[in-house]
A and B are shown apart, each in its own frame.
Chain A
Amino acid sequence: MNGAIAPTRERASPGRPSRKGKWRSLPWLAIIMLAPVIIFGICGPLLYLHDPTTIDLLNPQKPPAWLEGGSAAFPLGTDQFGRDLLSRLIEGARVSLIIALGGVMVAALIGIVAGMASGYFGGLVDSLISQAVDVKMSLPAILLIILIGAAIGGGMTTVLASIVLLFWADYARVIRAETLSLRERGYVQLAKVANASHIRILTRHILPNLFGTCIVLVTLQVGRAILIEASISFIGLGIQPPATAWGLMVYEGRAYLATAWWLPTFSGLAITMTVLGTNLFGDWLRDALDTRQSSL
């Protein structure tokens, strides 16, 4: 006899969370941290108390409102030129968000195309792209940033170019792996047998399945992009005054840390909060969408 008792039941399957549980499982901490940034980013100019670039030499280095010498007109105080810190932070939110989102989107576009091509076609395309990814991974980001800076000088373009150049490879690597496994799925094989064109297979059968992974990656990358933007601005290659961005504000505030501690402190806090928010949100999204990329 060689019979076997066939298992009649899956291992205790986790029940669907109730609706209440669903609400509770939202990443509230992340949402609370990100909400102001997003609101300021979208309708920043409507919320200024003061114009962020107006110099007010009568009120330089005013401390935050709750400290002695502060005034309610400048809730977070003013900088060395009497500019309202809160208004400048709001302006900085807009700049930082636009740059981070824009850069990450372009990088995603390039990386997804490269990753899909690499995973789907294989061969020479694959080895070239994989080689490029490898090289990028083994070089410190700062070297690429310095080279870009040397080629085109400082400014918005440098920041965008750096983000794109630094981030495309992450998408390419992850998307390549996913495409490789998707390619072997039944429906893709079927489409091939049915003589569907490569483009059709890639856009109809493979791309939609990459959605979750891409969303998670983009979220996590936005946080990193904000950090990169801040670092580039901090070494003077990023946004140039009189325009502003959070990294630049920390850099400028650094000179006054003995006399006006709030300048670098609040700008850095804004960066930290935003990046922390996107990181937490991305982690949550990864678990919620159950993508396999635990190493992102």
Chain B
Amino acid sequence: MGRYILKRLWRALITLIVISMLIFVIARVTGDPIAYLAPEDASEQELAQVRARLGLDKPIYVQYAFYVGDALRGDFGNSLRYNRPAFEMVLQRLPATIQLSLIAFIVSTILGIMMGVLAALRRDTWIDGALRLLAVLGQSAPSFWIGILAIMIFGVHLQWLPTSGRMGPEYLILPSLTLALFSMASVMRLTRSAMLETQTQEYVKFLRAKGVPESQIIFKHMLRNALVPVLAVLGIQLSHLVGGTVIIEIVFNWPGVGRLMVEALLNSDLPLIQAGVMLIAISVVLVNLLVDLSYGLVDPRIRIE
């Protein structure tokens, strides 16, 4: 277990370093940062002073070190457009995004697993067929289109649910379900095939021969074994979800980090983009780490070496 944790921690660290380097490099290639920090009519000498003050005359790796130091203190500079600390602005929007993706994550995992088990147990019946079709559709339809259809049907036509903004819990329903669809489809397909795979295992035959009740075989043994490969991809599912959130936030006018970042992109508001990307990367890496550790809890072969 110790080695396993160390490996996962190492991967998390590397991921964060790479993303911070990418952000740093992109900040440098998109133009001279002092162009917008110094007054327009500044002389060469004044510009040099600003450079020196900002450390831009130092070698690139020293600059990177400064940059990381700033980032660690939560200092990404001010938003160019709003002239407020970028980090703060992102932090303010973070709960909305976390709320949306977390609910979608829970919904897609639980429903996906339940549907996968059902499809596997009812293999080759119409239930299985319908669930599989739903899964393929869920993986093929763009989420923004599903979102727009949902708005047209449940918002404009039936007027059952609100479709824009974040006022009460009912505002969560359409966005989180739309967001969950793709992941749910993946989790379902994986659960189904994992369940079918466990059905052919020798230990299942042995359990039947022991006279263990079928329900106990399915829900205690087969399901838990089927969950091992499912858990292994939950981290990736989460990445998909966070990516999907950005789009869903735009479709449903959800005031989260994703929408903020896309606005910032269209305004070329670099500090805001940097802060947003970094914070999302950190959240994803942390949750991934949690998923990896829970994997160890389910599978004793990882827990005990």
Report which A residues bind B (CB closer than 8 A): 131, 134-135, 137-143, 146-147, 149-151, 223, 227, 230-231, 234-237, 247, 250-251, 253-254, 257-258, 261, 264-265, 267-269, 271-272, 275-276, 279-280, 294
Residues of A within 8 A of B273 (CB): 146-147, 150
Selected contact of A149 from candidates B12, B144, B265, CB within 8 Å: B265
Write out the residue numbers on chain A whose beta carbons fall within 8 Å of the beta carbon of B268: 150
A-B contact pairs, 17 of them (CB 8 A): A141-B243, A142-B242, A142-B243, A146-B262, A146-B265, A150-B273, A227-B140, A234-B247, A235-B247, A235-B262, A250-B142, A254-B251, A261-B152, A269-B145, A271-B141, A272-B142, A275-B141
Best-surrounded residue of B137, B262, B281 (most CB of chain A within 10 A): B262
Interface residue ranges of B7-24 to A (CB < 8 Å): 11-12, 14-15, 18-19, 22-23
Residue of B nearest to A277 (CB): B140
User: Which of A257, A272, A276 sits near B148, CB closer than 8 Å?
Assistant: A257
List chain B residues, Cβ under 8 A from A267. Answer: 145
Q: Contacts A258-B156, A276-B137: A146 and B277 contacting too (C-beta < 8 A)? A: yes
Taking CB atoms and an 8 Å cut-off, the chain B residues in 21-44 that contact chain A are 22-23, 26, 29-30
State which of B68-76, B205-213, B219-227, B232-240 sits at the interface with chain A.
B232-240
| Interface flag for B280 (CB, 8 Å) | yes
Chain A residues within an 8 Å CB radius of B145: 250, 264, 267-269, 271-272
A276 touches B140 (CB 8 A): yes
**How long is the Cα–Cα vector from A234 to B262 in the complex, in angstroms?**
11
Task: Tell me if B258 and A150 are in contact (CB < 8 A).
Answer: no
Q: Which of B268-282 contact A (CB under 8 A)?
A: 268, 270, 273, 276-277, 280-281
| CB within 8 Å: A-B pair count | 141
Best-surrounded residue of B15, B23, B30, B270 (most CB of chain A within 10 A): B15
Q: Are A139 and B15 in contact (CB under 8 A)?
A: yes
Give the complex CA separation of A235 and B287 in angstroms: 26
In the complex, the answer to whether A268 meets B26 with C-beta atoms within 8 Å is: no
Q: Is the interface of B mostly helix, strand, loop or mixed?
A: helix
- Decide: B142 and A142 in contact? CB cutoff 8 A: no
Beyond contacts A146-B273, A254-B148, A279-B140: 7 other A-B pairs, Cβ-Cβ < 8 A, are: A138-B236, A138-B288, A139-B15, A140-B243, A142-B242, A223-B140, A235-B250
B246 interface contact, C-beta 8 A: yes
Say yes or no: B148 contacts A268, CB within 8 Å: yes
Interface size on B, residues (CB 8 A): 53
**Contact status B285-A138, CB under 8 Å:** yes
Known contacts A137-B236, A140-B240, A150-B273: A250-B280 contact under CB 8 Å = no
Give the distance in Å from the alpha carbon of A141 to the alpha carbon of B270 in the complex. Answer: 19
A257 touches B156 (CB 8 A): yes
Residue numbers in A under 8 Å from B262 (CB-CB)? 146, 235-236
Which of A135, A138, A141, A150 makes the CB contact (< 8 A) with B26?
A150
A137 to B243, CA, bound (A): 13
- The one of A138, A150, A251 that contacts B30, using a Cβ cutoff of 8 Å: A150
Residue contact A257 to B137, C-beta cutoff 8 Å: no
Q: How far is the CB of B67 from chain A (nearest CB, A)?
A: 15
In the complex, residue of chain B having the shortest beta-carbon distance to the beta carbon of A150: B273
A204 to chain B: closest CB distance in Å?
Answer: 35
Q: How far is the CB of A255 from chain B (nearest CB, A)?
A: 10
- Chain B residues within 8 Å of A138, by CB: 11-12, 15, 235-236, 239, 284-285, 288
> In the assembled complex, how far is the CB of residue A67 from the closest CB belonging to chain B, in whole angstroms?
15
CA separation between A139 and B20, bound complex, in Å? 12
Bound Cα distance A138, B9 (Å):
12
Q: Are A140 and B284 in contact (CB under 8 A)?
A: yes
Once bound together, how far apart are the Cα atoms of A135 and B19, in whole Å? 9
- B261 interface residue per 8 A CB criterion: yes
A29 smallest CB distance to B (angstroms):
10
Nearest CB of A to B225, in Å: 17
Residue B266, interface by CB 8 Å: yes
